[in-house]
Amino acid sequence: MDFDRLLFFWGHHFVLLGVTVSLALSLNLINGFCGLFSLGHQGFWGVGAYMTAVLLTVLPSGEAGLFLFALSFPLSMFAAALCGLFVGVPCLRLRGDYLAIATLGFGEILRNVAINSSFLGTSQGLSVPNVIRTTLEQTFGLNRLDARRGEMIFYMLLSAGVAALTLLILRNLMRSAHGRAITAIRDDETAAELLGVNLTRYKVLVFVLGAALAGLAGAVYANYQRYVSPNQFGFMQGVTILVIVVMGGMGSFTGTIVAGVLIYALPVLLSFAPGTWQVPVFYDPTQGGDGWVHRSPKDLWQVFFSILLIVVVLLRPQGIMGTREFSLAALFRRKPPAPPKEAGA
């Protein structure tokens, strides 16, 4: 019994953390490694989630349920990648702030399309059938509780697997000549182009790949939550992902993972604060008593979030990891010798 409570509580957060980290990793490719400032990542995530929802609700499931479930992942990636292409090709003529505004607009347009189309369930959203639990109950004949346990463990593995796959794809990409071209674009676009980097090709590649991976995270999310609605993919969700990328370090995958865990865990851990803990928040003499209004730390996670962000920005403006990657091997390696100064220079 106690085991079940632990499993369902922490399992739930583990799955959502995996989705958040996957999203932040793919956004780091676009914003951190290529230096394209996108604010529309939640849009690609939403496209993937909605694609999954539509696929699993519109088509008759039943026997084909598991097949459709498996199909939802590549199809969501494809749908999001297609959106990435449609948005990327015209928008990548824009730079800096203008690109940020255009991608922000794209995210809001998608959300409004979902709100206003009855096919996508308007603001009510769409429910997604629980393929995994149905399969476990009907095909494997598990009882209800075992099926729920099995489902949670399955999604924990799936979410971790998708995050690991995203990390592997992005790491392998960045450790290749293609990845060097992408970093070169961020550091000096003109110099990169003169060294033979096709700017359009790589920017579109980064956008499309980032969108596809966000779509994959969206498929995991929709299948797990079994419900999609426009407000799950709003601007604030996009900002949270962006904050993870900035805080972890633009150009560091391991930094993104560290910051993702920190930012995801903060409200969860604060929710454990005992009800007797009260923090004085502001002074209002009309309220009686000593005039101080108290709040529980549970309700203050956004304040802690802001403080954390300010501390990181003040102490490490380049993010927790900067552009470095954490590796066990590097911990045991000695520091390289300082560069010898050139004579006469």
Partner 1 sequence: MSEGARVDRGDAVLSARGVSRCFGGLTAVCDFDLDLFAGEIVGLIGPNGAGKTTVFNLLTGVYEPTRGNISVRGCDIGRMKPDGIAGLGVARTFQNIRLFRDMTVLENVKVGCQPRKRQSLLGALVRSKHFRAEEAAFEREALELLEMMGLSEVRGVQAGALAYGQQRRLEIARALAGRPKILLLDEPAAGANERESADLQALIREIRARFDLTILVIEHDMPFVMGLVARLLVLDHGETIACGTPEEVRAHPKVIEAYLGQEAAK
Kindly list the residues in this chain that would bind partner 1 in the complex (CB under 8 A): 169, 172-173, 176-181, 183-184, 187-188, 190-199, 205, 323, 336, 339-342, 344-345
Distance of CA 285 to the CA centre of its chain: 43
Buried b (16+ CB within 10 A) or exposed e, 158-170: bbbebbeebbebb
Compare residues 191 and 265 and give the one whose CB is closer to partner 1. 191
* Shortest Å, Cβ 190 to partner 1: 7
What CA–CA distances, in Å, run from 15 to 158, 220, 229, 255? 8, 9, 19, 19
- Altogether, the residues listed in the chain come to a count of 345
End-to-end CA distance of the chain: 72
The whole-angstrom distance between residue 312's C-alpha and the CA centroid of its chain comes to 20
182, 160 contact by CB (below 8 A): no
| DSSP states of 252-287 | -HHHHHHHHHHHHHHHHHHTTS-TT--EEEEE-GGG
Residue 261 tokens, joined: 């865990």
List, in sequence order, every residue forming a beta bridge with 279; answer none if it has no partner: 295
Nearer to partner 1, 149 or 178 (CB): 178
Q: Which of 159/166 has CB closer to partner 1? A: 166
* 3-class secondary structure, 33: helix
- The residue among 198 and 271 lying less far from partner 1, judged by its C-beta, is 198
Q: Would you say 236 or 345 has its CB closer to partner 1?
A: 345
Question: Taking the complex as a whole, how short is the minimal distance between the CB of residue 188 and partner 1, in angstroms?
Answer: 5
Quick one: 121 or 251, whose CB is closer to partner 1? 251
CB closer to partner 1 out of 177 and 236: 177
- CB of 183 vs partner 1, minimal distance in Å: 7
The DSSP call for residue 122 is: G
**Shortest distance, position 201 Cβ to partner 1, whole Å:** 9
Cβ-contact 117, 127 below 8 angstroms: no
The distance of closest approach from Cβ of residue 250 to partner 1 in the complex, given in angstroms and rounded to an integer, is: 11
Q: How far is the CB of 172 from partner 1 (least distance, A)?
A: 5
Q: Select 169 or 243, whichever has its Cβ closest to partner 1.
A: 169
Least distance to partner 1, CB of residue 8, Å: 36
> What gap in Å lies between CA 253 and CA 21, rounded to an integer?
10
Q: How far is the CB of 35 from partner 1 (least distance, A)?
A: 11
What dihedral angle (degrees, nearest 10) is formed by the CA atoms of 303, 40, 101, 174? Answer: 100
